[in-house]
Amino acid sequence: MKVLAIIPARGGSKGIPLKNIKKLSGKPLIEYTINAALKSKKINKIIVSTDNEKIARISTSLGVEVPFLRPKKISSDSSNTMDLVKHTIKKLEKYKFIPDIITILQPTSPFRTTQMIDKSIDMLIKSNSTSIISVSKMKKHPYSSFWFCDKYLKPFKSDFLKFYQRQLFPELFYPTGGIYTFWTSTLTNYNSLYGPKIKPMIINNEIINLDIDDNLDFFIAEMCKKYWKN
């Protein structure tokens, strides 16, 4: 069973330039994800997919492969993950490496653990699912939200008053961004990373689920690294 880990790390970022190599507790952000992947007992190959030479140099110095740069046309804000996965698979064909399983590990989830990565791969193999994604239960439920239209707020749900207690909300889960693990056949058969049978890895630990998007998230992550265990 060949397992490929793809770490997507483009250079462009509207909020924080070169976010993926910005220092978090003295280390480039991407280093936390690289280290977690390197310690995995399930992964056979780790590829950093980037369009940036500086990110590529740092990644190779940390012990992972960057055998090619990602084209600019699939490295913009509007580019989707499926494009970079397809690009990576196509490039790896020349190296005679065709993975059975792919796991996408975003560098913006520095608290994701090696155990979570390996568990997601085991879950995929042992179940009848087409993909495994890390999710967390939503605290801010959309049923208590509003649309803003014609200068006024309109309830997202017309019957929202009957959900006056949080306990009455149906359970909803959001993807944390930490792990997306799927069969390569899911991509080819459904043109999707998910497929019809998505199995959740439920993680309700707010620190592990922290996804770094802006400077406030960086500050929170820095404080967690320094003080949370105390």
Under 8 Å between Cβ of 48 and 55: yes
Instruction: Of 12, 6, 28, 5, give the one whose Cα is nearest residue 74.
Output: 12
Q: What percent of the chain has pLDDT over 70?
A: 98
Contacts of 181 (CB under 8 A, 6+ apart): 101, 102, 103, 104, 117, 120, 121, 123, 124, 131, 132, 133
What class is the 3-133+174-227 domain? alpha beta
Task: Tell me how crowded residue 27 is: count the other CB atoms within 10 A of its CB.
Answer: 15
Alpha helices in 67-208 (DSSP H): 81-92, 114-126, 184-190
Measured in whole angstroms, how far is the alpha carbon of residue 210 from the centre of its chain? 11
Q: What was the pLDDT predicted at 61?
A: 97
Q: How far is CA 104 from CA 84, 121, 148, in A?
A: 10, 11, 35
Domain boundaries, the chain: 3-133+174-227
Tokens describing residue 59? 């990644």
Give the bridge partners for 104, in sequence order. Answer: 6, 180
Compute the Cα dihedral for 22, 72, 79, 67 and give only its sign.
negative
pLDDT tens digits, one per residue of 78-93: 778 899 999 999 999 9
Q: Specify the pTM.
A: 0.91
Q: What was the pLDDT predicted at 164?
A: 65
Q: Containing H/E element for 183?
A: strand 173-183
Q: How far is CA 172 from CA 42, 137, 139, 178, 205, in A?
A: 30, 6, 9, 18, 16
pLDDT tens digits, one per residue of 201-216: 999 999 999 999 999 9
Q: How many helices (H) and strands (E) does the chain have?
A: 6, 10
C-alpha–C-alpha distance, residues 127 and 115, integer Å: 18
Tokens describing residue 54? 């500086």
Per-residue pLDDT of the chain (230 residues; tens, 9 = 90+): 999 999 999 887 777 889 999 999 999 999 999 999 999 999 999 999 999 999 999 999 999 999 999 988 888 777 788 999 999 999 999 889 999 999 999 999 999 999 999 999 999 999 999 999 999 998 888 888 898 988 999 888 877 777 667 677 788 999 999 999 999 999 999 999 999 999 999 999 999 999 999 999 999 999 999 998 77
